[in-house]
Amino acid sequence: MDANNTLTGFNSMAATFAADVDQAFWINFWISIVLGLSVIVPMFYFAWKYRESNVKDEDIINYTHNTPLEIAWTLIPTALMMVLFYYGYTSMKSLRTMPPASESITIKLEGSKWKWKYEYPANKSGHVHKITSVYDKKIGDVKRGLYVPVGTNIILEMTAPLNDVIHSWYVPAFRMKEDVVPGRTTKQWFKSDVPGEYEVECAEYCGTAHSYMYSKVVVMEQADYDAWFESTAKSPFEDPSAATISKGQSLYEDNGCAGCHSIDSDAILVGPALKGIGAKYDAEYLKDAIVNPDKDVPEGFYPGVMPPFALPDADVAELVKYMQDAK
Ligand SMILES: [Cu+2]
């Protein structure tokens, strides 16, 4: 993905309703241009034609009304408004009408500061894929994304945690954008017929790292998707048998810590760099920093930014160990 050119998505129309949305947009655009010009051009023309030096006082007449003209300028814009409404409404309806759940995959989506999470239904062996997608500044790309099969209805049940803010999941290539609201579930659906990788952006200003709140949708061939879905791999592009990452690193990735902290460099993102933190503080401090972040706030940072993580003790211990190992 190219963080400097986030408009590339508009070059493709990768969702079935994208052409409808574009058509509604262009009809709106051209009707607005014509209506706008039909007011502005006569305005300049009359201002010029009836300029002071060109009009004699005795020629000035007061018209009270002109019925044919009034009917024309009422009916024509009304008819054009109806046309705009028709295309706006029908394309909105196709986005808002969910396909039957039995013919779709329903995926839970959660947006929070500053990551996107996707939770799938259980696969045949009962495994539930929970994917955390964050933009990794170091590699300049999004780590993991939403993986879907081509030509399949995907229903998204979207929300944000109660202690978070509003975000918006926006896929330019699909022409779809939907707010995620704390404590409320919004729904959106799409079907993509074109395999490929599409950018997702947060389209609702949500604080410090908003501009890096990227994700991606990867539309895959059915067989590739199935092979991954029935596995336990974190993504179709990671080998599950090569168990290279520790439990701690896995938790670190799944909880989106990387969206705010760098662990292998001194770079300050939203929060302090965690490299070498094990040498500075004991395990107790590190544990508190996760479950009760506002207790000790290092200099130069503010409370209320890092959310408290209500994780099981064992998970917190793994995270602490992971941070202690990050030398
Ligand atoms: Cu956001």
212 Cα–ligand 1 center, Å: 9
Residue 72 has pLDDT above 90, yes or no: yes
How distant is the alpha carbon of residue 131 from its chain centre? 15
Amino acid 110: pLDDT: 93
Alpha-carbon distance of 111 to 104, in angstroms, equals 22
Say how many Å lie between the first and final Cα of the chain, rounded. 30
Cα(327) to centroid(ligand 1), Å: 31
Going by pLDDT thresholds of 50, 70 and 90, the confidence category of residue 240 is low
Q: What CATH number does domain 1-238 carry, 3.40.50.1970, 2.60.40.2470, 2.60.40.420, 3.40.50.720?
A: 2.60.40.420
CA of 167 to the centre of ligand 1 (A): 4
C-alpha distances (whole Å) from 220 to each of 33, 191, 192, 290 are: 40, 12, 10, 36
**Distance of CA 235 from the midpoint of ligand 1 (Å):** 23
Torsion of CA 282, 245, 200, 129, to 10 degrees: -110
pLDDT at 118: 94
Query: In this predicted model, what pLDDT tens digit does every residue of 247-270 receive, in sequence order?
Result: 888 888 888 888 888 888 888 888
Domain boundaries in the chain?
1-238, 247-325
| Residue 100 CA, ligand 1 centroid: distance in Å | 29
SS3 of 52-114: HHHCCHHHCCCCCCCHHHHHHHHHHHHHHHHHHHHHHHHHHHHHHCCCCHHHEEEEEEEEECC
SS3 of residue 118 by DSSP: strand
The count of C-alpha atoms lying within 13 angstroms of the C-alpha of 46, restricted to the half-sphere facing its C-beta, is: 6
pTM of the model: 0.80
- Report the separation in Å between the CA atom of 161 and the middle of ligand 1, taken as the mean of its atom positions: 12
Least confident of 69-78, 87-96, 175-184, 235-244: 235-244
User: Taking all residues of the chain, what is their mean pLDDT, rounded to a whole number?
Assistant: 86
Angle at 172 between CA 168 and CA 177, to 5 degrees: 30
The superfamily CATH assigns to domain 247-325 is Cytochrome c-like domain (1.10.760.10)
Of the two residues 325 and 180, the one the predictor is more confident about is 180
**Contact predicate 235/220, CB 8 Å:** no
Confidence (pLDDT) at 231 = 84
Centre of ligand 1 to C-alpha 133, Å, is 13
| CA of 213 relative to ligand 1 center, distance in Å | 6
Question: Over the stretch 146-203, which tens digit does the pLDDT of each residue have?
Answer: 999 998 999 999 999 888 899 999 998 888 899 999 999 999 999 988 888 889 999 9
Q: Residue 322 and residue 327: Cα distance in Å, rounded?
A: 10
Backbone angles phi, psi at 178, to 5 degrees: -145, 135
Residue 283, pLDDT score: 83
Contact between 176 and 16 (Cβ < 8 Å): no
| Band of pLDDT at residue 46, cut at 50, 70 and 90 | very high
Check whether the bond before 114 is cis (ω within 30° of 0): yes
